[in-house]
Chain A
C-alpha cells in the first residue's frame, strides 16, 4: 500500500471498500430496496459524524451543540444561493467559511480553555443560542417555517454540465467531496497534530506539561470540526432544497453524538461511518414500522450504552480478538492505542 512518511497508509483497505460501496450505491440501491435520496442523506451524515468524531473520539471533547454549525452551514449556503451569486462551489465555500467562523470566532474562543463538564455544558449553551437565533431571526432565516426554495443549481464543470436536481447526480457530487474529506481526515489523525489530539484525550494536563499548546490545539480542532459540519449542512440544504432550525436543536445535536457512539467512534476511525449508516437505516426502517420510532431508538441506545458502549466496531473488535486469540503482539497493542 501507498504509505506516507511516518508509515501510516494513505489509502487503506476499509477505505477502498467504503469508496467502492459509496460510488456504486446508485447502481444497486434500487435492487436491495433502498433509494437514491437515502444514499445522499447517509453520505451527508457520514461526513457530519466523521468531522464530529475528530473532536469527540480523537480529542475527547464532547460537544453537545454541534448542530449549530450544521445549521450555520445550511443557512449560509441557502442565503448565498438565494441572494448573491448562485454557484454550487461558491455556496459550499461560503457555508464552510461561515461555520468555521462561527466555531472559531465565537464558540471555540470561549471553550478552548474549558475542560470536562464545563466544556460539555457550555457547548449545550452555545448550541442553544444558535438554535434560538435561527428561530427568532425570522427576516434572515424564515424562523420556524424554515428557509424554503433553495434550488439546486446546475453545475457547469467546463466539460459537462451536471443536473443536480437528479438525486443520483447529487450523490456523486457529495461522494467525491466525502471521499476527499475522508482522505484528508485520515491524514490529519495520523499526523503529529492527530497524535496531539489523542494526547489531549488521554490526559490534558500531561499533554500541556509535555509542551503542547493545548488551548490552541483545542481551538483548531473545534474549528475544523465545525467547518466540516458546515459543509455537511450546506449539502443538507442543497438536498432538502430548504433549511430548518430543527437540525440545531438539542435533540438533533444529540443524534450526531449517538451516531458516533453507536458505531464506535472512541475505538475506530470508521465508527462514525458505521454509526451514521446504522442510524439513518434504522430511522427509515423503524420510522416505516411505527410512529414512535424515537421511543425504540432511545431504548436501543440505552441498551448500547449499558451493554457495549464501544458500539458496533467494539463488538466487531471483540469477535475478531476471539477468533485470532493470542492477540496482543506489541505491534497490535500499539495500534490499539492510536486507534
Chain B
C-alpha cells in the first residue's frame, strides 16, 4: 500500500506530462499528414507561444495611463484566460506565414520543407533570445490554480491537476473538431489523398494553411500550460520537440489514437522513472521507442502510407 501511495504522485505527474506531450504531437501529426512536412519549428511555436502569453499576461503597461492601466487592473485570472486564447491565435498567424514560405517546396524533395523549418526554428529561437534574453523567465499563473491541496495522505500541486484537465480538454476538442465537423472531415480527407480533395473543388492551399496554423496553435497552447512546470527559457522548444518526434513514431504517423496513447505512454515512462532515477528519466522514452519499434515497425497504430516513399 505504501508503495502505491508513493507511486501515485509520480503517476499523476506522468499523466499530466503525457497529455501535454500528446497535444504537441497532435499538432505535429496533423501537419505531417496533410503537408507531408516534418515541422522542426514545432518546438519554436511551443516556446514562442509561452513567451507571448507571458507578455500578454504581464505587458508592463501599468503607469502608461489610459487603456494600459485599465488592462492591468483586470485580475490575473482574466488576463491569463485572455493569454490562453490570444497567444495561440497569434502563433497560428506566424504559422500561416511559415506555411506560405513552405508552399514553395511542395512537390520538390521532402527534405527541402524539413530544412526550411529547421532554418525557421533557428530564427525563432534566436529571436526569442534577442527579445527576452537567455535567462529563465517565470510564467505567471493565477492564484486559483497555484498552490497545493491535500487528499488523504498526499499533498499534490493544483497546477498539475489543472494541466492534466486542460490537456485532456484540448485533446477532446481536437477530436470533436476532427470527427464531428465537416472541416475535420476535409482535413482527414486531405491527409488521405490531397489530390482528390483538390479535384472535389476544395481550396487545398487554404486548407493546408489552416492546418499548419492549427498545429502551431496547439503547440503554443501546450507551451503555455507546460512551461510553468518546466520553466521558460529559449531552449525549451527543443525539449518539447524531441518527445513529440518520439511520440509520433511510437504511435504511428498520422494516427490520432497513436499520438494520444503514445503521448501518455511517454509521459508515464518519464514520470515513473523520474521517481527512481531522475537523471535518467529521459532515456526511458528512447528505450520505450526502440522497444515498440522492434516489434512494430510503423509504431502502434501506423499504417503504410505515401510518407514512406
Contact = CB atoms under 8 A, between A and B. Distances in A.
Given A110-B293, A257-B115, A301 B308 contact: no
B38 A305 contact: no
A56 B297 CA distance: 22
Contacts of B105: 305-306, 309
Contacts of A258: 115, 118-119
A266 B38 contact: no
Contacts of A306: 101, 104-105, 116
Nearest to A265: B111
A305 B297 contact: no
Q: Is chain B's interface secondary structure helix, strand, loop, or mixed overall?
A: helix
Interface residues of A, number: 40
Given A258-B115, A302-B120, A117 B38 contact: yes
B245 A110 contact: no
A113 B129 CA distance: 40
Interface residues of B, number: 49
B132 interface: no
B67 interface: no
Interface stretch (A89-97, A122-130, A268-276): A122-130
B118 A301 contact: yes
Contacts of B146: none
Contacts of B302: 118
Interface string B88-104: 00000000000001001
A5 interface: no
Contacts of B279: 136
Q: Is chain A's interface secondary structure helix, strand, loop, or mixed overall?
A: helix
A110 B297 CA distance: 9
Interface string B281-309: 01100100110011001100010000111
Contacts of A56: 111
Given A128-B286, A132-B283, A305 B293 contact: no
A261 B114 CA distance: 12
Contacts of A132: 282-283, 286
Contact of B249 (A122, A254, A297): A122
A116 interface: yes
A250 interface: yes
B122 interface: yes
13 contacts: A110-B290, A117-B32, A120-B38, A121-B248, A125-B246, A129-B283, A257-B111, A257-B118, A266-B109, A298-B126, A302-B120, A302-B123, A309-B109
Q: Which 7 A-B pairs have the closest CB atoms?
A: A298-B122, A295-B126, A298-B123, A301-B119, A302-B119, A116-B308, A305-B116
Given A118-B297, A251-B122, 7 more contacts: A56-B111, A62-B111, A116-B110, A121-B248, A124-B242, A294-B125, A294-B126
